[in-house]
Structures are given as structure tokens and as C-alpha cells.
Structure 1
């Protein structure tokens, strides 16, 4: 039995995010994700006026006269959310936890998808794949996805993006739009991401808290890794400590951005201390300008 507070939270997120979708996001989403592929329909004999580029030369050679391939526009898309539910999602020092923000973002995109008559699926992962929900259409299905993101208690605490991507590739046979939602505090996923991006339209959504980039000047603090439990004491009064922390954080950020750029991936960078709606709109505009 799902607790009443979880159902209440699902309802609150539904009301809030659907309003954003109806007022702002739905049109932007449709302009970008409107089914750009062509699906094979049949082969028939060549007729005057047919594009010679559509001739099926194998069938033509076999039958002794020209045949062409017919295609129809593939309107329906599959939208898949690959969501990091590791322990680091329970961190947040400003307006919201990273994990809560991930749920809101998925809800906005999922409600936009069903308005576009697209299918929505979900994989949650930690250091292992935790949950798989096959893609389907409809509001009730999206609400189920939201309930799982809010209520499901993962078994793992760490992060293994590589394993999640490999699992995705075994489950999805046809091309999909894959939103990979994580703080990307992980390594070793580059090759799996490269393979996945060749088959699917992968869009990383990075979620970052400002304290992951810069320490406050508040004296001695104890930091604990939410995924490993490792603890360290730091003197944040020391400017060299703060500088070293920021330098390391920015270096890791730059490495991640280089990885995404090398694969020509569109990225949505979200921060817990900044409104995310304009970031989403900017992403849609950028994508629409290229298609």
C-alpha cells in the first residue's frame, strides 16, 4: 500500500507540472519531438514520378524491373527516462533535494510526451538497475512513473551509469529519446554512453547543488559521501582549502562537458538554486533551431 503522503505528493507534482506543461512547455516540446523518422511500409513496382533514390536495387535485380521502397512518417516516439536514484540524490542545500528536482523534471517531460501521443518508459538505477517500467501511453501510466520515482526504495546507494546504459540497450530495440537524469558523480560510463548515443537520442540532464562546486566560509565542517559513507573534516576558513575544493569540482565539471561535447550530445544543466523552466525552454529552442 502506497502511503497517503506519497499519493498527495504525486498529486501536488501533477498539478504543478501539468500547469507548466499546459502554459509553456507542451508547444516547445512538440516543436522538437514530433516524430522525425521514417518507417518502412512496403515495396511496390516503380511508377512514373517516383523518386529514383527510393529504388530497392536488390528487389529490382531479383524481379527484373524496378521496385521502390515506400515509407511513412513515424509520428510516435518513445521517451525513456534513465534516472539515477542513488543516495547522492538526497542532497540539497538550497531550495530542494536533487532527487526531488529529478522527479519534477521527469514529470514535466512525461506529461509533455503524452500530450504528444508518445510512449513513456522508466529505468531507475543506483550501482545496479533497480526498476524497469516498459514504455506505454497515457496519464495513468505517467502517474505510475511518478509514484515509482517518489515511493520506490532503492537497494543500492552507489552509482553505476555504465550498467544502466547497458541494460537500456538490451531492453530497447527501436530508437528512443533517452533522458539520462543524474548528478553524474560517477566515472567509467563514457564508452557505454558513446554506444548508446549511436543508437538512441541521448539527452543528459545534470543536476548540481551549489555546495558541490563551492564551499561556504563557515569554519570546520564534516563532509560525508552519501554513497560510500566516507567522511572528511575540512577547515573552510582556510582560503586554500576552499580554492582547492572549487578547482577540483570545476575540473570534474569540465571533463564531463568534454565527454558530452565529443559525442555531440545536447545537455540540460540544472542547478538546485536556480529556476529550471527557462533552462528547459532554452534547450527546446536550441534543438528546434537545428531541425
Structure 2
């Protein structure tokens, strides 16, 4: 994607995100993710109904009338976007590639984060760590994050979620929110998922495409595994073969679902075939209720 095309795509995403990240969505995000503690705000005069345990006795003694200490929730958070840009992400049969969907969702999450004064970082990975941008604040930084996801061309084609999560655990010292955006075809990552979920608030964003689970009957088709380069000639007109394909895809999906549940990782299901805002809002609302 050349620079002019990237700039155009960024502007399109910005326009779309500005409409999506309304006050309701932003409010749900803020309520879904709480800060790590409380911090001192001010000392003020005591009013009837205030908790007497908050009285600052030193200030009260100096002034001859009661004062209390007031604390507020420490809101500032760190959001890490771990984006899978392996070869399987550059597929899409319903209007957009999975990688483009990952970029849009990352943009929305990033804009929601900076709107709430949170920091945003980025990790692009394949079967290796491709690029890391440390967390920062600000709109310019978020635009850089989006540009990197859209423009980056990975050196490798495979997927290794374990390596990506191990890297995040090494460089991110404080508890953070980690959004892991991937199609999750790599199931050899259970141990790292468990470790990361214990250290951080880990959320899996599972990106899928309808053709990955069901094939149309269109005759002989040569399929290429983008990650391994292996080619297979497949007779899609054979209903038995289509059934086997569908069962294998379902088995893969169920295996990953079990791994995520057993690792205590929340997940958001999105598809290239349907709008992604509703699944995100459902997740925020669910989290908001849990926090309460």
C-alpha cells in the first residue's frame, strides 16, 4: 500500500471511528476498565454525611473545624494492542481483509483509550515480534499506531501467539489491558495465555471470515496455505469433502474456545461479514456489569 493510499485509508478510518466512538461507547469503555487503585485528590471541609473515617485530624486541629481527605479512582491505564499480521490475516471474502478489520478495531480501541487519558502501545507479530511501539498518549501517537498496522509488511508469514505474549510480559511491567487481535489459528499458546491473563487484563479479539468455515460448491479449486505456502487441489463440488472441511474448521474453533475459557481470557467475536461495533458494545456492557 503506497503512502497516498495509506493516508486515504487513515482518513476513512478516522471518519468512521468519529461516528462510532460516541459518548455511549466511550462511557461503556470507561466503565468496563477500571484503574488500578485510588489516589489523593484534595483536602476539603467536612460536610454532614461525609464518612468520619476520612477526617484529616492534623488539618482539623490547625483550623479548628473538621476537614476530610478526598480520594479519586486512579483512572490512567495502559492499553496494549497486540495485532497478528501473519499471512492468514490478509484474507477476506466479504468486502474487507481480516488485517483491515484488525486495523479498524485497533483504531477504535485506541481512540477510546486516549479519550479517557489512557496510554496506547502496539505490538505487531507473526511467528516473531515484528514491531513494538511503547505506550504513549495523544492523538498523533494513535495515528502513528493506525498507520503502522495499515502499512506494515511483515518479514514472516507464520503465527506464534506464544512468542508475542511472552514479549508483552517481558516489556510491560505494570498490569495493563491487552487486546490480542488474531484469527487464532495457532492453538499452541495455552500456557502463555494463562500467564498473561494472570498478569494483565487479556482480551482476545477473534477475527474470522465466513469462507474459513464453509465452502461454496464451485468445482475444482487450488487452495494455498498463506503461512506455509503449501498448495492443495480441492473438489468443492464433493459434498463429503465440504462436510469434512466444515467439521475440521469447527473443531479448530472449538479447541481455541476451550483454551480461551480454561485460560480465563474474555473474547470478542468479530467477522468480516458483519459490523463489528455491536460485538464490542456487548463486551463493554458485560464488563461494565461485572465491574459493578
| TM-score, normalised with respect to structure 1 | 0.87
Report how many aligned residue pairs link the two structures.
264
Equivalent position of 1:275 in the other structure: 275
What aligned pairs does 1:208-247 form with structure 2 within 5 A after superposition?
208-247=208-247
Partner Cα separation in structure 2 for residue 26 and residue 271 of structure 1: 22
Work out whether residues 117 and 137 of structure 1, in 8 Å CA contact, stay in contact via their aligned partners in 2: yes
Tell me the residue number matched to 1:154: 154
Q: Deviations over 1:88-132 (max 9, x none)?
A: 111001121000000000001110111111000000001110100
> Is residue 34–residue 116 contact of structure 1 (8 Å, CA) maintained in 2?
no
Deviation by residue 1:141-175 (Cα, 9 ceiling, x = unmatched): 00000010011221111111111111111100000
Residues 117 and 40 of structure 1: CA distance in aligned 2, closer, same or farther (over 3 Å): closer
Question: Structure 2, unaligned stretches of length 5 or more?
Answer: 41-51, 55-70
CA distance in 1, matches of 2:74, 2:231: 52
Runs of 4 or more above 4 Å deviation: none
**Conserved in 2, the CA contact under 8 Å of 1:165 and 1:196?**
yes
Structure 1 position 73, deviation (Å)? 3.2
Pairwise CA distance, 1:11:
1.5
Instruction: Supply the distance in 2 between the matched residues of 1:7 and 1:133 (Cα, whole angstroms).
Output: 20
Matches within 5 A, 1:127-276: 127-276=127-276
Return the alpha-carbon distance in structure 2 between the equivalents of residues 144 and 191 of structure 1: 32
Deviation at 1:256, TM superposition (A): 0.6
2:44 is aligned to: none
Alignment correspondent of 1:58: none
8 Å Cα contact 2:185-2:252 kept in structure 1 = no
1:74 Cα deviation after fit: 2.3
SS of 1:202's equivalent in the other structure is strand
Pair 73,26 (structure 1): closer, same or farther in 2 beyond 3 Å? closer
Kindly indicate whether the alpha-carbon contact (under 8 Å) linking 2:193 and 2:265 is maintained by their aligned counterparts in 1: no
Matches of 1:260 and 1:185, distance apart in 2: 13
Structure 1 equivalent of residue 124 of structure 2: 124
Conserved? CA contact 2:126–2:157, under 8 Å: yes
Gaps of 5+ in 1: 42-47, 51-70
Deviations 1:7-33 (A, max 9, x none): 121121111112210265212211212
Shift of 1:243: 0.6
d(CA) in 2 for partners of 1:208, 1:132: 24
Contact 2:39 2:74 in 1 (8 A): no
What is the aligned partner in structure 2 of residue 67 from structure 1? none
SS in 1 for 2:218: coil
Aligned to 1:103: 103
Superposition map of 1:41-80 within 5 A: 49=53, 73-80=73-80
Q: 1:187, CA displacement in angstroms?
A: 2.7
Query: In 1, Cα distance between the equivalents of 2:248 and 2:153?
Result: 32
Judge conservation of contact 2:87–2:226 (CA < 8 Å) in 1: yes
Report the CA distance between 1:49 and its aligned residue: 4.1
Rounded Cα–Cα distance in structure 1 between residues aligned with 2:117 and 2:170: 24
Contact 1:110 1:142 in 2 (8 A): yes
Tell me which residue corresponds to 2:4: 4
Q: CA RMSD in A?
A: 1.8
